[in-house]
Structure 1
Amino acid sequence: MTTAPITRRNFRISGAMALMFALMLTACNSKDREHASQMTSFSATPSKSATPQLFTIPQDQMSHVQVITIEPTTLTNTLRLTGTVAYNAFNTTPVITQVGGPVSRILAVPGQHVKAGQPMLDVSSPDYSQLLGSYLKASDSFRLADKNYARAQDLYQHHAIAERDFEQAESDRNQARADLNSAEQGMKILGIKNPADLAKAPSSAEIPVLAPISGEVVERLVSPGQVVQAGQTQAFTISNLSTVWVLANVYQTNLAFIRSGDSVVVQTDAYPGSFHGRISYVSPALDPNTRTLQARIVVDNPGEKLKKDMYCNVIVTAGKLSNVIAVPNSAILRDDNNQPFVYVAGGANQFGRHDVELGESQNGQTQILNGISVGERVVGDGSLFLQFANSLQH
């Protein structure tokens, strides 16, 4: 009586175990068939670069994704260099004292704007009397020689003197004219633009040194009492600051993209906005210390804001790539093998990975050489979000 229930209970347990085993076996067989199916499907399906595997994003998450349609575009090739401001040497002139002697007065200071012909300093010159005397003597000599020439010409025309005497009178007149011209130059050193007007001659030996050009005084090199040498001592430097130079450093890798005439944008930390100029010269030799070449840029300087030795960032427009396919840099991702790819929109809320080959990168965009075509819709902002969402689904 006690054995029958035990037998039935054992039978029920044995039957349950058999059923569980059968289910496990069925599940295993099902997984094997699924695995076999997957293997067969993998071997028959083209690679994802040819037919990307699509995944779907819920509609409420599409706000994280920006899709752009690929169209042919133009990439501007720009280079970013560094440089410093310098005076434009073609608009910068030294002020050389034309007379010798001690400096009696300084009439201009750095930062002051002067006009051509404006007195900048006075020199107590012992040469004053000599220059004035030379002019008066040369002037008298020329008047006499001119009269003698006129008389000799009249006599020669009337056959009253020999041709040799007439030629001598003409030669004396020419020599006197040359001496007077030289003396007139000396008078101009004294500040007398019209040497014939002796009323404007200085009443003392205080000789003014005049500004040769209009511009800003950027340097003073003499002091009161200093003895200067005629034609040798530099007293000031004047520069017209309407344009300046920016001297930019160009690395060897960028030499192919730098040419005279290229347009340039110059930016500084001191002022908002930009200054514009052009490359006027590229050095033919490398600096042995920096291994760079120097590009000279002529830059417009409105308001004279750019100052000597100011640090600048230089943006050079160095050609264009026309009719190319390009995407924002934010659209490009890389996998664990460093393969670049983008996400391309398929059906509704569906996206697929396209491996791509990259070209030039300029101004936040990168040229795509292979992998996508004109008219396809590529994810720009939000590509990282799609990559994360895709990883969760797999």
Structure 2
Amino acid sequence: MNQEPGAAERDAYLLEDMRDSRASRRRWIVIALLIAGALLLAFFFFGKGKESGADTPAAATGQADSQIPTISVAVPGRGTVREVVSATGSLAARREMPVGVVGEGGQVTRVLVEPGAWVKKGQTLAEVDNSVQRETAQSLAAQVRAAEADAELAQSELDRAQQLVGRGFISKADLERKRSARDSANARVRVAQAQLQETRARNARLDIRAPEAGLVLTRAVEPGQIVSAGSGVLFRIAKGGEMEMLARLAEGDLRKVSVGVPAEVTPVGSDKSFKGQVWQVSPVIDPQTRQGIARIALAYNSELRPGGFASARIVAGANSLPLLPESAVLSDNDGNYVYVLNDKDEAVRRDVKVGNVSDDGVSIAGGLNGTERVVLSAGAFLNPGQKVDPVLKTLGK
């Protein structure tokens, strides 16, 4: 049996349409399942949230409380804050005495001291050959003895003449001549003695001696050397061993320093400080460097070597100011500031003027009176008006 033309095409079309219907139903089934799963998940989470949120107001209150930060604060008060000026400079002998040839000089026979030795006033530092001068002194001593003998003889003759003049054996004119001879003899004795003393004094000046007690710093003479008044400095002595530091200060800092203020000096390469005090402040300022010199007196110590470099901390004065740790002081484009708390425990910015900064902390020269509650740390994380939970601390502990 033969089908009509076009019947096969209709059957194929119907078959394809049935297949599309079945695929469409499957898609809708999958979509329905996905929606059902999403609803179940939503019910699970939202339902659990409702159960746990039965006490929602209390939870919200706890969460708000947990957002208030706990901050350490302190009341600095006012204390004595020293104003310290720092300086650098060189070490030197406070009174350095150059020692040279005082007499006529000669050949050095012995050098008796070395640098670093302590000497007494008048102690011989070096001996100069005095063999010729010694012989001259002996000759003059002999002349003194001869003159003394002549004077004794003249005195004896005068005594005898005085006994005979009363008896008429000697005239008064002869007696006067005897007295004149005696006086001349005594005068010759004094002249000879003066010449001897002069020679002895010259001989004593041949040797090089310490003008004052102190510490020998340098030596520039050796045995066999010929020295004279033009030989220059042979020894340098620090009078009493006293040292000083020539502290160079800027013009502004020099105005703060006065005679008698204490100072601490630390030589380069040493961790030890030496106490001293300013004994002289330069009356002039170097026009090139705009600096002046404060001279700090120091007692002798073997670690203080003239010519060495050192740093100094000079106490220029003292003021009663609040003192805070460095962590409490903040800065921005508007300057230095701290946070203080008001009566409601809210952070309030307070601009301050910073004074001296030391190991003890930062002194506040302006902006605080010392009775405020100041935030010690974490100020950088606060905002003006932010409420905090303060914990009062004691500074220095």
Q: Which runs of 5+ in 1 are unaligned?
A: 1-55, 191-207
**RMSD of aligned Cα (Å):** 4.1
Q: Which runs of 5+ in 2 are unaligned?
A: 1-63, 166-171, 388-397
Matched, 1:355 2:350: yes
Once residues 106 and 356 of structure 1 are traced to their aligned partners in structure 2, the CA distance between those partners, rounded to angstroms, is 70
TM-score normalised by the chain length of structure 1: 0.63
Percentage identity across aligned positions?
25
Once residues 242 and 351 of structure 2 are traced to their aligned partners in structure 1, the CA distance between those partners, rounded to angstroms, is 47
Residue correspondence of structure 1 range 1-394 to structure 2 within 5 A = 62=70, 65-89=71-95, 92-96=97-101, 98-116=103-121, 118-125=123-130, 127-129=132-134, 131-133=136-138, 135-136=140-141, 139-140=144-145, 143=148, 178-189=194-205, 209-229=208-228, 233-239=232-238, 242-302=241-301, 304-322=302-320, 324-336=321-333, 338-346=334-342, 350-358=345-353, 360-363=355-358, 364-370=361-367, 372-380=368-376, 382=377, 385-390=378-383
Cα distance change, pair 339–318 in 1 and its aligned pair in 2 (3 A): closer
Larger radius of gyration: 2
Q: Give 1:299 shift.
A: 0.7
Read off the aligned partner of 1:319 and give its amino acid letter: G
Q: Give 1:270 shift.
A: 2.8
Once residues 285 and 331 of structure 1 are traced to their aligned partners in structure 2, the CA distance between those partners, rounded to angstroms, is 40
Is the 1:76–1:362 Cα contact (8 Å) retained in structure 2?
no
Is the 1:138–1:183 Cα contact (8 Å) retained in structure 2?
no
Is the 2:84–2:314 Cα contact (8 Å) retained in structure 1?
yes
Q: Give 1:356 shift.
A: 2.4
Once residues 59 and 297 of structure 1 are traced to their aligned partners in structure 2, the CA distance between those partners, rounded to angstroms, is 57
Is the 2:95–2:239 Cα contact (8 Å) retained in structure 1?
no
Once residues 224 and 200 of structure 2 are traced to their aligned partners in structure 1, the CA distance between those partners, rounded to angstroms, is 28
SS in 1 for 2:255: helix
Is the 1:101–1:126 Cα contact (8 Å) retained in structure 2?
no
Once residues 95 and 312 of structure 1 are traced to their aligned partners in structure 2, the CA distance between those partners, rounded to angstroms, is 30
Residue-by-residue CA offset, 1:277-322 (whole Å, 9 max, x unaligned): 12122222223442211222211133x2111211111111111113
TM-score normalised by the chain length of structure 2: 0.63
Cα distance change, pair 113–390 in 1 and its aligned pair in 2 (3 A): same
Once residues 234 and 138 of structure 1 are traced to their aligned partners in structure 2, the CA distance between those partners, rounded to angstroms, is 37
Q: Give 1:127 shift.
A: 4.2
Once residues 148 and 319 of structure 1 are traced to their aligned partners in structure 2, the CA distance between those partners, rounded to angstroms, is 80
Is the 2:148–2:186 Cα contact (8 Å) retained in structure 1?
no
